[in-house]
Amino acid sequence: MQLRPGLAPAHRAAAARLYWAAFGAKLGRVLGPEPLALRFIAQVIDESHAVSALSPDGALIGIIGFRTHQGTFVGGGLGDLQAVYGRWGGAWRFAALASLAFDGERRAMMVDGVAVAPEWRGAGIGARLIEAACAEAEARGFSHLRLDVVDENPRARALYDRLGFQVERRRRPILSGRLFGFAGASVMQRDLGARP
């Protein structure tokens, strides 16, 4: 397995599938149905805001996306949503996604999702992708890497604890929690000057 900065254009569709497999349960009410979600995600991916994990034969087996004040791995605006879901469908989805609120704190790079192919889970790829994102954040001049982890994902929370992330604050968003199906989330941060 090898890690590479960015995402190759040939891997956009595979990255969209990995992202949807990881987050479709949470995003499905807003971005579903799946064929439209995959089309939208593949369309808006910013290849420069990711680190890819590749198998020995070059297949994409994992991805970590991130966001900064300069862009985000899976973003897109109202026009992008309307191009896939239509005028009204794009408008209400845009409003729903806005409820997730981008954390624009400039000292921190924000993780925009970690996804690993099911057959490769448990092989340490997630941890290696997080470490690669930390290195990428440092190279881009950030002092912290930040992420959100929902209460319903204790396995991810345990990984982030082990990798030196600290809970900075808790969120219990009512609207986005109902839309995306989670009760609460922890905002976690790792100081890039400190090592776990």
Q: What does the DSSP assignment read for 47-104?
A: TTSEEEEE-TTS-EEEEEEEEETTEESB---HHHHHHHH-HHHHHHHHHHHHTT----
- Is the whole-model pTM more than 0.85? yes
Is 151 among the domain residues? no
In the prediction, which pLDDT does 69 show? 87
Is 195 among the domain residues? no
Is 182 among the domain residues? no
In the prediction, which pLDDT does 126 show? 95
Contact criterion met (CB below 8 Å) for 42 and 81: no
Q: Which residues pair with 111 in a beta bridge?
A: 66
pLDDT digits (tens, 9 = 90+) for 113-126: 999 999 999 999 99
Higher-pLDDT residue of 74 and 26 is: 74
Is 136 among the domain residues? yes
pLDDT digits (tens, 9 = 90+) for 130-184: 999 999 999 999 999 999 888 777 888 899 999 999 998 887 655 555 666 666 7
Q: How far is residue 77's CA from residue 60's CA, in Å, rounded to a whole number?
A: 26
pLDDT at 193 over 80: no
**CATH code, domain with 104:** 3.40.630.30
Is 59 among the domain residues? yes
- Give the pLDDT band of residue 26 (cuts 50, 70, 90): confident
Domain tally for the chain?
A: 1
Q: How far is residue 133's CA from residue 3's CA, in Å, rounded to a whole number?
A: 10
Is 117 among the domain residues? yes
Task: Give how far the C-alpha of residue 27 lies from the chain's centroid of Cα atoms, to the nearest Å.
Answer: 12
Is 19 among the domain residues? yes
Least confident range from 16-25, 37-46, 102-111: namely 102-111
pLDDT digits (tens, 9 = 90+) for 30-74: 999 999 999 999 999 999 999 999 999 999 999 999 999 888 999
What are the backbone dihedrals phi and psi of residue 5, each rounded to the nearest 5 degrees, phi first?
-65, 145
Which range of residues forms the domain containing residue 50?
Answer: 2-144
Give the CA angle between residues 53, 165, 184 to the nearest 5°: 95
Cβ atoms within 10 Å, residue 117? 20
User: What does the block give as tokens for 164?
Assistant: 């030196």
pLDDT at 196 over 90: no
